Amino acid sequence: MKNTFSIKNIVSALLLAMVFTVVVQAQKSEFNMSKDLLLVQLDCKTDIDDLHTAAGFATLLNHPDYQNLHYFVIAGTYGIQEGLYVPPNELMKLAFNNNWSDAHSKWAKSVEKVAERAQKTINNGGAVWVAEAGQSDFTADWVQNLIEKNPTLNLKEKIHVVQHSDWNESVTEPTKLKYAQTKTDYHKIADGNAVGNGTPGLKSDGKVNWEDKINDAHLSLVWNTAIRLGNTYNGKEGRYLNKSVAEGGLDFSDLSEVCYILNLMEIKDAEEFFTYFKVD
């Protein structure tokens, strides 16, 4: 058969693809600092990486560019995985004052609290962004709560969920994962544990020189508390053994989702993260 696909056809196809790409990029929602809400949902079971992630998020909040960020942190948003919880409350209070909730001990109350904050944000013309630093069971519950009160609301335009981990999805209760994926604008990004895959690789196999880049006594205390608690629970009583942390490294890989939401994807790794957020 004669090949009739000419150079003209190829050029036309390429131009069409470029136009389509521009349209898709233009349609991608972006975080609006003035009216959007960022939820950081930490499962804290059974890996201690969420402790480092909380400290990493506190580091970001300390930077002048993000001191007016509307956020709320929820600890204990785990799914169906087995194993013991990593108690984060000392760190949560230190890092976020009262701007967090304990879903581990008060699940229903935390669901209601988040749904109310989401409702207020949406009513004020904003959107809700979820850094899913764990499983989606909690997300499914508060989204369902919101839908029951607003049955006509199109949440795919108002709630954006970002997940980076295949494992997190595998230990989410299947019906709740499906619910979160179908009812919200659900994004899956490359794993934040690795460097060079398009997302910040915020897990280090060796020591990270963070002390010289943090010139804030409170923030240094936050990191020292996160590291101390991490070392206390890492691999203990059947909990997951984070080998990178055991060897002196840091693991705040779940913060890659926050970086995606805030368009900070140019950050390469943990060292570069602290350089980026260094405040003199």
pLDDT digits (tens, 9 = 90+) for 52-76: 999 999 999 999 999 999 999 999 9
DSSP assignments along 146-168, one per residue: HHHH-TT--GGGTEEEEE--HHH
pLDDT at 101 over 50: yes
Domain ranges of the chain: 38-276
Contacts of residue 229, Cβ cutoff 8 Å, sequence gap at least 6: 48, 51, 86, 87, 88, 90, 91
Task: Quick: pLDDT tens for 70-94.
Answer: 999 999 999 999 999 999 999 999 9
pLDDT at site 194? 79
Task: Quick: pLDDT tens for 213-239.
Answer: 999 999 999 999 999 999 999 999 999
pLDDT at site 24? 32
pLDDT at site 132? 98
pLDDT at site 32? 97
pLDDT at site 19? 41
Are 37 and 117 spatial neighbours (Cβ–Cβ below 8 Å)? yes
Mean predicted lDDT score pLDDT of the chain: 91
Tell me the mean pLDDT in the region 27-40: 89
| Least confident stretch, 11-20, 81-90, 149-158, 261-270 | 11-20
Tell me the mean pLDDT in the region 237-242: 98
Share of residues in the chain with pLDDT > 70 (%) = 90
- How would you label 54-75 residue by residue, b for 16+ Cβ within 10 Å and e otherwise? bbbbbbbbbeeebeebbbbbbb
pLDDT at site 197? 86
Please state whether the predicted TM-score (pTM) of the whole model is above 0.75.
Answer: yes
Task: Quick: pLDDT tens for 136-162.
Answer: 999 999 999 999 999 988 889 999 999
Residue 64, amino acid: P
Rounded alpha-carbon distances, angstroms, from residue 24 to 31, 156, 159: 16, 16, 18
Alpha carbon distance 268, 198 (integer Å): 9
pLDDT at site 28? 63
Task: Quick: pLDDT tens for 171-191.
Answer: 999 999 999 999 999 999 989
Tell me the mean pLDDT in the region 106-116: 98
Q: What is the 3-state secondary structure (H, E, C) of 197-248?
A: CCCCECECCCCCCCHHHECCHHHHHHHHHHHHHHHHHCCHHHCCCCHHHHCC
pLDDT at 8 over 80: no
| 251: alpha, beta or left? (left if phi > 0; alpha if psi -120 to 50) | beta
Are 144 and 116 spatial neighbours (Cβ–Cβ below 8 Å)? no
